[in-house]
């Protein structure tokens, strides 16, 4: 069965971009446009990896990460931060990798391949 990736980003264009890349490379995807929805989808879909934008309306990426870590079934899911914020390396220290926008597609795919459970 294909590995599943949850993409969380509030910009629909970026969301579409990421899901297309992953699907083109043999992953199944699910997506969410904010942290609240992201948590619901994560609980329901049990993804193998999550990409997370840091600055979104409603709830911030870091808070999503904290809530996710409190959930036993989700806390070991690897998270890749993809953000336009500077200084994001320190925002979520347990993230397996951080990429800044605009990102390199090959680099992203390599990171995902290395970290997906």
Partner 1 sequence: MDDRVLFIEEDENIAAELSTWIAGQQFRIQTACSFKTAAPHLNGNHTDIVIADPYTPGGDGHLLLKRFKADNPTKPLIIVTAPENTETAMTAFKATVVEYLNKPINTLALDIALQHARQRLALNHKIDSYTQKLEDLHYAQNLYQQLFDEVPCYISVQDRNFRLTAMNRLFKRDFGNEAGAYCYKIYKHRDTPCPKCPVAKTFEDGRRHQTEEVVTSKHGKQYNVLTWTAPLRNDDDEITQVMEMATNITEVRRLQDHLTSLGLMLGSMSHGVKGMLTALDGGIYQLETGIRKKDNGRIELGFHRIQQSSARIRKMVLEILFYAKSRGMQHEATDVAELAEAVADAVKPMADNNGHTLVVDIASDAGNFEADTNWIQQSIVNFLENAVDACTDDTEKNNHRIGFRVYPQGEEMIVFDISDNGIGMDEETRQKMFTLFFSSKGSKGTGLGLFISNHIIRQHGGRIDVTSEYGKGTQVKISLPRFRTAESSIARPLLDGSN
59 Cα distance to chain centroid: 15
Candidates 39-47, 59-67, 71-79, 102-110: pick the segment binding partner 1 (CB under 8 A). Answer: 102-110
Taking CA atoms, 67 is separated from 12, 19, 59, 60, 64, in Å, by: 23, 24, 11, 11, 5
Min dist. Cβ of residue 53 to partner 1 (A): 8
Please count the residues of this chain forming the interface with partner 1, following the rule CB under 8 A: 21
Q: Which residues pair with 26 in a beta bridge?
A: none
Q: Figure out which of the listed residues 40, 44, 75, 102 binds partner 1, where binding follows CB under 8 A.
A: 102
**Binding flag, residue 11, partner 1 (CB under 8 A):** yes
**Binding flag, residue 60, partner 1 (CB under 8 A):** no
**Can you give the binding site for partner 1, defined by CB under 8 A?**
10-11, 13-14, 16-18, 20-21, 24, 55-57, 84-86, 100-103, 105
């Amino acid at each position: 069965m294909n590995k599943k990736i949850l993409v969380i980003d509030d910009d629909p264009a970026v969301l579409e971009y990421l899901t297309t890349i992953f699907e083109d490379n043999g992953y199944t995807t699910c997506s969410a446009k904010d942290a609240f929805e992201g948590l619901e989808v994560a609980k329901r879909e049990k993804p193998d990896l999550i990409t997370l934008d840091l600055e979104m309306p409603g709830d911030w990426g870091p808070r999503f990460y904290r809530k996710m870590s409190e959930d036993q079934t989700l806390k070991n899911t690897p998270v890749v931060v993809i953000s336009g914020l500077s200084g994001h390396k320190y925002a979520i220290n347990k993230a397996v990798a951080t990429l800044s926008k605009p990102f390199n597609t090959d680099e992203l795919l390599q990171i995902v391949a290395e970290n997906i459970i």
